[in-house]
Structure 1
C-alpha cells in the first residue's frame, strides 16, 4: 500500500458508527459535563505524574527493586510513546472529527499530520498505570481506572475512534508488561545509589527484619 493511500486512511469502517453514537451523546450532554470531560481529557495526564511522585515517596522506605521500578516508570512511558509514534507514522489514520460528516469535537480537531491511530493519551495513561501495578497493587488499580477514563474521554471529545484508544491502551500495557519486570532487576544499582549522595532522594530502603536469628530485609511500607 502506498504512503499516499495510507495518508488518507479512513478508520470509520471499523467502528465509525460507535464513534458517531458517542459523539451524539456528547453533543446532547449538559454543557457542564462536556466541560469537565474536556478539561480532564486535556490535562488529566498530569495526574499520572502525581501518581509516580507518590509512588517514589512511598518507595523511599521499600526495597531497592521497588524503587527501581518506580524510577523506571517514566522511562517506560517514554518508550511506549516512541513505539506508538512509529505506529502512527506507519498507519497515518485521519482523525474522525475531520472524516465523519456531522461530527463535532469539543477541542480543536488536529490537522493533517497529527494522526489518530493509536491514541497517544491512551498509550501514556496505560503505560503509566501498568508500570505502577508493579509498584503497588492498590495504586495500580486506581491508576488503571483513571487510564480507562482518559481513553474514553478521547472518544467523547471527538478526536479519536474507539479502536484508536483500545489499541493505544494495548500498546501501553504490552510495553509496561515487558519493561517493568526488567526494571526490578536493577535493584543492586539502586542499592549503590542509596550509598551515594543520592540517598536523601532515594531513601534508606527496607528496614531490617530479624527472623530466626538472621537479619533479612523487608519493605517498611505496604
Structure 2
C-alpha cells in the first residue's frame, strides 16, 4: 500500500477510537446490520412490485440476484489481489474496533461495500425515489468498514463502484428474460406461483372493483 492510504487509514481509525463508546458500538453493529436492512428493503420491494407491472416485478426479483452476483464477483477479485487486512498490515495503527478477520480473508475489495453498492443501485432501479435512502445507507456502510478498522479506504471505494456496476449490468441484461418468466408465472395454474408474483396492476384493480 502507498503511504497516503496507510496514513488515511490511521487517521480514520484514530478518530474512531476518540469517539464516544456508543458511537463505536453503533458503528460495529451497523457494519453488519446494514446488510440485513438492505435484505429487508429487497423484501419490501418484492412485495410492492406484486401489484405493479410485470417488468417492474422482474426488476424487483432481479435486484437481490444481481447483488449476489456482485458479491461472488468481489470474492473472485479478492482471491486475485490477496491483499492483507490493514488491521494487520498498517504499522502504528490503533487496534481495530471490530475483530480483525483471519489471514486469507482478504481486504480488496470490501464485500460489504460491494453488497451495499449493488443493493443501493438495484433498489433505485426498482423505484427511483429509493436512491435518496439507499445511497446514503451504502455510503455509511462502506465508511463503517474503515471506521471499525477492517478495510482500507480504497477497499470500500472499489467495492461500492464494483458492486454498483456489476449489479446494474446484471439487471439490464436479465430484465427481458426475467419479464418473460414473470409473465408465465402470473398466468400459471399453480396458486402458490401466482401468489409469489402477484396479480399485477390490472388484475388487482379488477379484483378490487369486483369486491365493491
TM-score by length of 1: 0.85
Q: 1:193 is matched with which residue: 180, 185, 189?
A: 185
Q: Is 1:172–2:167 an aligned residue pair?
A: no
Report deviation, 1:19.
Answer: 0.8
SS at match of 2:131: helix
Aligned to 1:133: 124
Q: Is 1:94–2:94 an aligned residue pair?
A: no
* Cα deviation code 1:69-111 (max 9, x no counterpart): 1111111111111111111011111111111223221111112
Q: Note the residue ranges of structure 2 that are not aligned, 5 or more in a row.
A: 204-212
Report deviation, 1:13.
Answer: 3.4
Report deviation, 1:141.
Answer: 2.8
Q: 1:206 is matched with which residue: 162, 184, 201?
A: 201
* Cα deviation code 1:13-47 (max 9, x no counterpart): 35111111101110100001101111101222100
Larger proportion of helix: 2
Larger proportion of strand: 1
Q: How many residues are aligned here?
A: 198
Conserved 8 A contact 2:69-2:167: no
The separation in 1 between residues aligned to 2:110 and 2:154, in whole angstroms, is 9
The separation in 1 between residues aligned to 2:76 and 2:85, in whole angstroms, is 17
SS at match of 1:133: helix
Aligned to 2:17: 27
Aligned to 1:181: 172
Report deviation, 1:133.
Answer: 1.4
* Cα deviation code 1:136-167 (max 9, x no counterpart): 01123311211111000000000000000000
Aligned to 1:161: 152
The separation in 1 between residues aligned to 2:32 and 2:4, in whole angstroms, is 26
Q: 1:121 is matched with which residue: 102, 112, 116?
A: 112
The separation in 1 between residues aligned to 2:185 and 2:173, in whole angstroms, is 18
The separation in 2 between residues aligned to 1:66 and 1:183, in whole angstroms, is 13
Report deviation, 1:188.
Answer: 2.1
Q: Note the residue ranges of structure 1 that are not aligned, 5 or more in a row.
A: 1-10, 209-222
Q: 2:136 is matched with which residue: 129, 141, 145?
A: 145
The separation in 2 between residues aligned to 1:143 and 1:200, in whole angstroms, is 27
SS at match of 1:61: coil
Q: Output the aligned Cα RMSD.
A: 1.3
Matches within 5 A, 1:57-76: 57-76=47-66
The separation in 1 between residues aligned to 2:166 and 2:43, in whole angstroms, is 21
SS at match of 1:44: helix
TM-score by length of 2: 0.89
SS at match of 1:104: coil
